[in-house]
Amino acid sequence: MASFAVNFALKKSLALLKDWPRCFLFFVGAGLVAPSLPFWALFFYIFFVPRFLFELFQEKNFQRIKAFSFPFFFLALCFLSVGLTSFFWSVSGYQGWQWGIDFSCTSLFLLGAWVAIRQMPEFPQKMMSVLLIGGSLNIFLSLFLRLLGRNIDHYAPQRMAGFGIFHPVVFAGDFTGLGLLCLIFMFCYRRQAKQNFQKQDLFYVFLFCFNGFFLVLTGCRMAWGALFLSLLMFLKWQKQAMILGGAAFLSVICFGNPKIFHSFLGRTDSGHFEIWQKTLTYLSPSTLFGQGVQMHMLIPNGNGGFFVHPHSFYLSLLIQGGAVGTAFFVLACVTFFFFRIKSAKNVKMLAFALYPLLCGVTDLSFVFKGPSEEWILIWLPLLMAFSSFERGHGEVFLETVAGEFFPL
């Protein structure tokens, strides 16, 4: 019996290693349940990097890389321009080289995702499943550890923290919102393919309540706003019934429990405006090119402590790359939306591109980092949106539980 289990595990492991898209999904899933960020970073260096380099230098994939479309080439050029701007204007030579390694790691991650997208037509659906299952496990571990009195974010002890790399309540909320976005898409298109309500749909309803309740406990208002606006812009009206039902569900929870209501809606701006005003003082030395890799940013929080980032993805980008770097990033986003909307038969998957861009207004930090939560919260949603247009026909396919495929 033991030998059979070992042989079975070896066969599955070899099958996984031979398939690069599955390796990429496995790496992302490992990050969702990793006990800490250093653990996931170590896994990146010992598993992702050697496996991807082996995949990259195979002849068939090397030929595919040459077949860049103009929009993808332009996006890559903008990405490289922002990175080089931050690198050469770094305030510290040591930090510049250290950040150069982080930038290289981010580039490998994005290129690895692109290769996986080209090899797996159902990449968006598979990634949605990984994010949903891994996110639910992360929530379960978060709640379990909180019951033991261990999972507490000291910056916001009254709010629910996440597990592992999503321990800060802001990251936990943004990630849970991304999981809800995946869940709503999967549920809506299952209902579109099969009109009759099935038993499997009860599992989706349970996960919706489970994830929605956890998001309320985190108190992350921006995640709710980004989720609602993303769905409002890209889903048809009949699909918004689920959003309205979820809003009613959350209203009952919030108003039924005054503590949750105050944690979720009774707060002010959480000091964001004061933080942003103090952050702007870092722009004065070089508004045009920014401060480069400014990792020693110390912003007083009014309680005797300091914040090391401005609690805004866009301000972080402005500090690092200045007006030039920010212009390249904005140009890349505009190019992406313009070419994708122009060439796509359906733009619904662009909701995944809009969600992180909205969350970045008050959340997240530096976009170019080594293995970090930003890879999952910023780059993965953008990759999922991009993957829906890399089929050659402008379509993306979601797999139902019955194993059937249908276009979005």
Q: What is the pLDDT of residues 320-330, one digit of tens each?
A: 777 887 887 78
How many CB atoms are closer than 10 A to CB 310? 23
Consecutive H or E run containing 369: none
For residue 222, give Cα distances in angstroms to 54, 362, 372. 40, 7, 20
Looking at residue 30, what is its pLDDT? 92
Specify the higher pLDDT residue, 283 or 51. Answer: 51
- Domain residues of the chain, as ranges? 8-391+397-401
- The answer, yes or no, to whether residue 152 has pLDDT greater than 60, is yes
Percent of the chain topping pLDDT 90: 7
- Angle among Cα 10, 29, 370 to the nearest 5 degrees reads 115
Residue whose token pair is 């968006």: 124
pLDDT of residue 405: 35
How far apart, in Å, are the Cα atoms of 265 and each of 122, 171, 176, 211, 261?
A: 39, 18, 18, 18, 6
CA nearest to 349, candidates 136, 117, 162: 117
Q: Which two tokens stand for residue 176?
A: 């849970």
Residue 6 has pLDDT above 90, yes or no: no
Residue 206: burial class (beta carbons within 10 Å; 0-12, 13-18, 19+): exposed
Position 398 pLDDT exceeds 60: no
Span 162-179, average pLDDT: 86
Spatial neighbors of 33 by CB under 8 A, at least 6 apart, are 134, 137, 138, 141, 163, 164
Q: What DSSP assignment string belongs to 309-364? A: S-S-HHHHHHHHHHHHHHHHHHHHHHHHHHHHHHH-S--GGGHHHHHHHHHTTTS-
Q: Does residue 135 surpass a pLDDT of 80? A: yes
pLDDT band of 237, cuts 50, 70, 90: very low
- So what's the pLDDT on residue 354? 85
